[in-house]
Structure 1
């Protein structure tokens, strides 16, 4: 596609309002547009996303990122309460960057193990003057064992990172009691739900809600799984680097 970094992101204000009971301010819309432009430019070197057309990008990156926090957007009118968010495996910065733009009173940590992606995100934070975002280059299995990061976050976001039960092992050690893990999924089966219930209990959590919905433009099926932290996570979770994906908890004959 020629010169695609000059493309204009659709505003979609009425669609934002209909689907999330919220719409961006003019300043936030401008930041979304700048973020879109910068991702398209960065994409030429870093292969950040295959989704580049304006409508697709709006739906699959911006709308999808904010659909996971719909319950926060609907209740934030009277709330300036500060919260801590960690986006685990942020990649090109989704969902964490749209969340940070949308909720400036929240502190958002963007975690990824790829230094090049974090370097790129840091240039975006500077270009867009986003002050409430911090970056971390590391593996979640290591960060989850560091005292100053463990059990301090109100929300942990995971989008397109790993199978659901692996995401639970990544998210729950990071959350304070009462905190919420938000797992962004495409399909989610009944079998996955049975496994997840057992795994989450071991990790000190419970399944709070599972929402199934369709995206507004392409009518694709999506799920958001909300895991609530109810007890402290045993100190041996998350397990060492690579183990959660190689030996998911439902394979350990614990049940």
Structure 2
């Protein structure tokens, strides 16, 4: 399979340029994931074609939400092996990217990727999302927050919306069926100062995979009470 061609098609679909240099960096990244995956658990997807489609192209397709192309600052909450943050950075090099994860082993891996690929204006944070959105330099200061973390919308919203500046966005990458989750999470989104603005369907080239982007606009300040202390959002999601 011609991975360059399929990734180029994905970028064309979201009106982004793709070139040989970007492609080479993606392939280096892929090799590093496979190498490190033998030492630490980064992903269950280890086959090249699946990695390109389910990780790289899936991450690139977040640009179906077109305002992302104008974002100056992005934070990826619960980034894991760097998805979608590193693919976003590779196809939009001028963005100021922050990758946050609670597991230090993953942060060590991500720092190695950043150094190897010589990426600029990108940093990692080892910590919990609830703690850093309380800090003045992060609270309500980011253009777009993205997350592909596995948590329901009410929980994710409490972890992510406090970072978003008013007028900015939280984009949650979700599976194919989101209706129930949106219904259950609507009230939490509103409490936290957000408004569900769009649900964008995503299709992955040369596959039958499809996902959704849940787009939440920050319309008012997040009340000071949120996020609650670490772990509370998961145990007692806002209703």
- What's 1:3 paired with? none
- What's 1:53 paired with? 47
Query: Using the alignment, how far apart are the partners of 1:159 and 1:91 within structure 2?
Result: 9
- In structure 1, stretches of 5+ residues that fail to align are 1-7, 251-255
Q: Decide whether the 8 Å contact of 1:108 with 1:132 is kept in 2.
A: yes
Map of 1:74-85 to 2, 5 A cutoff? 76=69, 83-85=72-74
Query: Using the alignment, how far apart are the partners of 1:45 and 1:125 within structure 2?
Result: 19
Q: Decide whether the 8 Å contact of 2:64 with 2:200 is kept in 1.
A: no
**What do the CA deviations read for 1:192-227 (whole angstroms, capped 9, x no partner)?**
222222211111110011112332233123111011
- What's 2:3 paired with? 10
- What's 1:220 paired with? 209
- What's 1:136 paired with? 125
Please say if 1:98 is aligned against 2:87.
yes
Please say if 1:162 is aligned against 2:151.
yes
Query: Using the alignment, how far apart are the partners of 1:212 and 1:206 within structure 2?
Result: 18
Q: Decide whether the 8 Å contact of 1:13 with 1:23 is kept in 2.
A: no
Structure (1 or 2) with the larger CA radius of gyration:
1
**What do the CA deviations read for 1:1-45 (whole angstroms, capped 9, x no partner)?**
xxxxxxx98112553256333341111111111111111111110
Please say if 1:34 is aligned against 2:25.
no
Query: Using the alignment, how far apart are the partners of 1:146 and 1:227 within structure 2?
Result: 22
Query: Using the alignment, how far apart are the partners of 2:113 and 2:208 within structure 1?
Result: 30
* SS of corresponding position for 2:227: coil
Please say if 1:113 is aligned against 2:102.
yes
* SS of corresponding position for 1:69: helix
Query: Using the alignment, how far apart are the partners of 1:9 and 1:124 within structure 2?
Result: 24
Moved more, 58-67 or 212-221: 212-221
The two structures have a TM-score, normalised by structure 2, of: 0.93
* SS of corresponding position for 1:68: helix
**What do the CA deviations read for 1:164-199 (whole angstroms, capped 9, x no partner)?**
111111111000011110101113343322222221
Q: CA 1:142–1:45 in 2, change beyond 3 Å: closer, same or farther?
A: same
Q: CA 1:166–1:123 in 2, change beyond 3 Å: closer, same or farther?
A: same
- What's 1:71 paired with? 65
Q: 1:151 aligns with which of 140, 151, 155?
A: 140
**What do the CA deviations read for 1:97-139 (whole angstroms, capped 9, x no partner)?**
1111111111100000101110111011000000121000000
Aligned residues: 238
* SS of corresponding position for 2:30: helix
- In structure 2, stretches of 5+ residues that fail to align are none
Q: 1:24 aligns with which of 3, 18, 21?
A: 18
